[in-house]
Amino acid sequence: MSLRALLPRTETLRSTVDLLAGGLKTREKIDAFRDRRLRALVQHAARHIPFYREHFARAGLDVRDVRGAADLHRLPLVTRADLAGRAAGDLVPPGTSLNGLISHRTSGSTGEPLTIRRAPGEETLLALFRTRQLRRHGMRAGDNLVVIGLFSEQQEGPAGTWRSARHALRRYRTHRINTLREAEDLLEQIHAARADVIGGFPSTLARVAQHLIETGTPPPPVRLVSVGGEVATTLMKKQIAEGFAAPVRQTYGSHEFNMIAAECPATGDMHVIDDNMILEVLREDGAPASPGEQGEAVGTALHSFTMPFLRYRLDDIVVQGEDRCACGAPYRTIRRVTGRMIDYFTLPGGRVVHPYELTVPMLSEDPWMRQYQMTQEATDRIVLRAIAWEKPSGAHLRRIEKSAEEVFGPGVSFRIELVDRLPNEKSGKFRPSRSLVKSEYDSRDA
């Protein structure tokens, strides 16, 4: 692989420094940057990415008509299924070595698995946007950042200095802990890592906060709790703020884009990360939503040339905010996101299991699966409904059943149903896992 391929496609070194040091300071600079990047990306995709070449041709698009974000509506929308149905080679420039790319296999909020690929430089750049956001929310140089996420035992622990660009630039010490650990265990590790800042799923941190409140344990001395990755309900945020006695700030992101929006501490709305991606909120008739109106989130990544995402449907429902935040920041805003909702399953005897314990290994091992939904129908009964690209073998199904028995235990009946379609919620939102026994999202607080 050439050196060029390892670096993110930045316009100039200066513009990258501007972006990451504090971001572009005025709306004019941000908008000019978005327009330039969009033109470059659309031309690149039409020329070099087989999927987009066909997709644009089918829509009769002349790429010369796309001069900036104001012309975005000319581009046809792209769905997760459009990309998931294509060979990897159709989604990246010809001659790209897939082995040299960093890939994430994810099901997002739709239960539809997709592999996202980025050059190492692109991956680093997106990670730096996240760090920039944590800094804006109150993280300081020298802080211990504890990230609670989906990490294997090998990935847990302190992140190596030489690997972490964030560490090199700002001297943060990052420590990773697996989100599936018990609350007590998580707390012990948070203390051991001497966390100043904690980042993680709101459901996990609410569980730890509940434990702190119920046992009357003094909270670890953290200055900031950053939540993201799934919808944070009002109740979850209240519990976390009370349990940890620290401010809770929400971010909205996805594997395709990394940072999409982040809470404004002044107004409680969310700033769209306009220099990382273009976010459109579209009504059912396809027109842009006005402030206060609800619509579908559609994203265009400004830094992904290896596997571009142009007018990509995120399958999240968003309430549009003011065109410019009242706090004075130059960013567009959204008010609220209804994104990924993952329920924990409370099993007979009170044991609590996160569905990820089954679905994460399953996603990496079952390429036949096109979309899935896991439902806890009764305390002791769980059903996995799946749509298949091609009929899975008996051995595939038995392997999933065996892991399910290990995760849920022998007292729980588990079955797999192959189906042709999976229903959406009344809100139009799809829920990859849901408990009919107890759900944070179905309570009135959600």
Interface residues with Zn ion (CB under 5 A) are 264, 325, 327, 329
Kind and range of the H or E run holding 41:
helix 27-48
Q: Which is nearer to Zn ion, 167 or 237 (CB)?
A: 237
Give the CA angle between residues 367, 277, 4 to the nearest 5°.
75
Look at the chain and count its residues. 446
Q: Which is nearer to Zn ion, 190 or 325 (CB)?
A: 325
Q: Which is nearer to Zn ion, 98 or 266 (CB)?
A: 266
Token pair listed for 353? 């299991």
Q: Which is nearer to Zn ion, 224 or 329 (CB)?
A: 329
C-beta of residue 239 within 8 angstroms of C-beta of residue 206: yes
Cα(86)–Cα(33) distance, rounded to whole angstroms? 31
Q: Which is nearer to Zn ion, 276 or 439 (CB)?
A: 276
Q: How far is the CB of 126 from Zn ion (least distance, A)?
A: 22
Which amino acid is residue 213, in one-letter code?
Answer: I
What CA–CA distances, in Å, run from 319 to 133, 227, 283?
21, 19, 10
Q: How far is the CB of 438 from Zn ion (least distance, A)?
A: 35
Q: How far is the CB of 277 from Zn ion (least distance, A)?
A: 18
The radius of gyration of the chain from alpha carbons, rounded to an integer in Å, stands at 22
Q: How far is the CB of 271 from Zn ion (least distance, A)?
A: 5
Residue with tokens 């046992």: 215
Q: Which is nearer to Zn ion, 190 or 264 (CB)?
A: 264
Q: How far is the CB of 290 from Zn ion (least distance, A)?
A: 19
Q: How far is the CB of 384 from Zn ion (least distance, A)?
A: 42
- Cross-strand pairs, 102: 118
Q: How far is the CB of 268 from Zn ion (least distance, A)?
A: 9
Q: How many helices (DSSP H) and strands (DSSP E) are in the chain?
A: 12, 20
**Share in percent of the chain as helix, strand, coil (round to 5):** 35, 25, 40
C-beta of residue 144 within 8 angstroms of C-beta of residue 193: yes
Q: Which is nearer to Zn ion, 262 or 422 (CB)?
A: 262
Inter-axis angle of helices 13-21 and 120-136, nearest 10:
30
Token pair listed for 6? 């390892």
